[in-house]
Every structure is written in C-alpha cells, then in structure tokens.
Amino acid sequence: GAGVSQSPRYKVAKRGQDVALRCDPISGHVSLFWYQQALGQGPEFLTYFQNEAQLDKSGLPSDRFFAERPEGSVSTLKIQRTQQEDSAVYLCASSLTYGSYEQYFGPGTRLTVT
C-alpha cells in the first residue's frame, strides 16, 4: 500500500515568506507526527495529532509555526515569516494506533530559506 507522502519535496522561500507543507499519512493511521531534521542531525519532534486533536505541540520552536489536521487525515505545517534558521527537512510520520511507537516516515520536505 501507499506510504506517507509529503509535498512539496523541495521548497525555497525568501526570508519573511509564509510556507505550507502537506502530509498525507498512511490510510487509517490515527496518529500523525511532525519532526524537523537539521543537516547532520537526527529528527526532532515538533508536534503530534491523534485524529484531528493536536495533543502535543511542545516542540514547535516559535509561534510562527502552526500545524493542523482538521479532518483527521491530511495535515499541514505552516511556517509564517520564515527565517534562515527554519531551513531544514520537515518530516511527517504516522502510526496506526494511539500508543504505538512504530512510526512510519514520509520522504520529507526540504525547506531552504534564502
């Protein structure tokens, strides 16, 4: 079956622009996660949804970052007024049930802020 998909795969934004990154989880997966991966580092947690409820947003670095999953499937991560330090790969992962630690990742969106 289809895995987690993300779009766009690559995004170049000028500093100050707003961007929206999309994640389509595996069909039927209840939990959805966003992670940020800087070059040469492991992914770092940003936020987590169970269905449409955002249960943890403790990893969002500032109030410029906002995520939603209004119908409990597709999710969007929005970054307002992008800064150079936002340049990273943004990974989306999903898992089948709440409480499952087996997370399946998408290919990521590589964001470059110039």
Partner 1 sequence: QKEVEQDPGPLSVPEGAIVSLNCTYSNSAFQYFMWYRQYSRKGPELLMYTYSSGNKEDGRFTAQVDKSSKYISLFIRDSQPSDSATYLCAMSAEEYGNKLVFGAGTILRVKS
Which chain residues interact with partner 1 by CB under 8 A?
4, 31, 33, 35, 40-45, 48, 55-56, 59, 91, 95, 98-108, 110
Closest alpha carbon to 109 in 62, 60, 75: 75
Q: Which residue's CB is nearer to partner 1, number 73 or number 80?
A: 73
Give min distance, CB of 37 to partner 1, in A.
9
Report in angstroms how near the CB of residue 99 gets to partner 1 at its nearest: 7
What's the min distance (Å) between Cβ of 29 and partner 1?
A: 12
Taking a C-beta distance cutoff of 8 angstroms, is the pair 45, 33 a contact? yes
Closest to partner 1 by CB, 71 vs 102, is 102
Token digits for 26? 């595996």
What pairing do the DSSP bridges indicate for beta strands 65-68 and 75-79?
antiparallel
CB atoms within 10 A of CB 93: 22
Q: CA 58, CA 49: separation in Å to the nearest integer? A: 12
Q: Closer to partner 1 at the Cβ: 18 or 44?
A: 44
CB of 9 to partner 1, least distance (A): 9
